[in-house]
Amino acid sequence: MKQLIFTLLVILGSYHLQAQDVKALSLEEAISYAMDNNLSIKSSHINIADAEEQIIERRSFGLPRVNGTIGYNYFIQIPSSLVPAQFFDPTAPEGEFAKLAFGTRNDLTIGLGASSMVFDGSYFVGLRAAKAYRQYVDRELISKKQEVKNAVIEAYLPALLLQQSRTTLEQNITTVDKLLTETKALYKEGFVEQLDVDRLELSRANLQSQVGNIDRQADLVYNVLKFQMGYPLEDPIIASDQIDQLLVPATSEELVDAVNFQSRPEYQVLSMGKQLSELNIELNKSTYLPSIGAFANYQQSAQGDNLIKDPTWIPTFVVGLNANIPIFGGFEKRAKLNRAKLDLAVLENQQKSLENAISLEVSNARTSYTSAQSRLDDQKKNLALAQRIYDTTQIKYREGVGSSLELVQAEQSLFETQQNHIQATYELLLAKISLDKALGK
């Protein structure tokens, strides 16, 4: 029993809780709270919102773009050009030039332009990739929720084990107190020795010490549980379920059916990663195709020395197409395509490795569950036997045909068997949780 209590002190926390404002939580309530408040899950929801915006962003590349422009120039010195002077003065000597100013001092241009993609293979692949990425982050959220759920369960169950262990210790203290009272009365009458009283008092003191040790570790287990839930550390809570209530036997299908890899969220995430990698290959292939765009521009230019009194408006309207035809890019595209194919090969290997790991995990979980069930069955028999021995020893002691040493030994054997039974129940519950986790439930 000492070894079990030592293990509890290391891996568990305390049951010692004060009465003020203690919130009792079932396992389902703890999981539900974590789904709403765990920071990792909140971050996954943010990733989903970001993926939605990426779809909108990618779709916008194929929509027409319209831009307005406005420009104004005021020429302090109007640009001039040299022309032969004979254009204006036939008597001017050969080779003489005259300076001639062209244009007006004011130039105002107002325009409206539109452009649109007509064909671009990468656009459609990119849009599919954005939608696939949205599904990918959905799978990530499911996987994260499963991780948080498992973490909450792993933090919640030790609290139950600790509470049940403490309750058993308190019941044992009550039994010893009753026997100690009877023994003290017999001692006063001279029927037993002081040694008999001392043995029972020592037994009671050991039990109280164990309870005290458990109580001093109270914050550890509940702080871990609060952290996994996203619950305020300063607010006290208590686990309200019982181990026996949570212990649901495994079905024959869970123990023998073929492994369904798709039931595991992380496998679904990896499958979506493969799909994204395949789309990346398509995207790199599409860069070899030409892209075609259309445009239209309309503008009005106002010119004159005084734009308010005598502007002259000159309209311009042009439409057209442009095509970008890849010819040679220095093998960059080929290298990117080959790298995308290599990334897919890595993901395929990771998928096979994950399948092997899941198969091994399921196999081990099934074996562990069967072994834990067998241990619990044995401990149930041992507990019944230890209780019968203790009851018989108690009767012999009260009738004066048994010694206090035999009684203390039977008592210690019973207490140890009780703890072993609690531990076996806990281990079976853990084995069932591990089996459910391995099967993706």
| 107: β partners | 73, 303
Task: Report the pLDDT value the prediction gives residue 54, as an integer from 0 to 100.
Answer: 87
How much is the pLDDT for 17?
38
- Of 346, 355, 347, whose CA–CA distance to 274 is shortest? 347
Tokens representing 324 are 């970008």
Structural domains of the chain sorted by starting position, each given as residue range(s) with its CATH number in brackets? 2-62+120-289+331-438 (1.20.1600.10)
pLDDT at position 381 is 92
3-state SS class at 327: coil
pLDDT of residue 218: 67
Closest CA to 361 of 435, 257, 250: 435
> Given this model, what pLDDT does residue 110 score?
92
Q: For residue 342, what pLDDT is reported? A: 93
Pairing assessment for the beta strands 237-239 and 23-25 based on DSSP bridges: parallel
At 389, list the tokens. 């021995």
Given this model, what pLDDT does residue 197 score? Answer: 80
- pLDDT at site 13: 44
User: Is the Cβ–Cβ distance between 142 and 215 less than 8 Å?
Assistant: no
Selection from 276, 293, 292 nearest residue 284 by Cα? 276
Pairing of strands 106-119, 80-84: unpaired
CB 383 within 8 A of CB 418: yes
Residue pair 200/179 in contact (Cβ under 8 Å)? The answer is yes
- C-alpha to C-alpha distances, 9 to 73, 203, 412, nearest whole angstrom: 84, 20, 20
How high is the pLDDT of residue 210?
A: 79
Q: What is the pLDDT along the chain (441 residues), one digit of tens a residue?
A: 444 444 443 344 443 434 446 788 888 899 999 999 988 899 999 999 998 888 888 888 888 889 999 998 888 887 777 777 777 777 778 778 777 777 778 888 999 998 888 888 888 888 888 888 888 888 889 889 988 998 999 889 888 888 887 888 888 888 888 888 887 887 787 777 788 788 878 888 888 887 887 777 767 888 888 999 888 988 888 888 888 788 888 888 888 888 888 888 888 889 988 988 988 888 888 888 888 889 899 998 888 777 777 788 889 999 998 888 888 878 888 898 899 899 999 999 999 999 999 999 899 999 999 999 999 999 999 989 988 998 888 888 777 777 777 877 888 888 888 888 888 888 898 898 889 888 888
State the pLDDT at residue 158.
Answer: 86
Nearest 10 degrees: Cα torsion 180, 181, 186, 187: 70
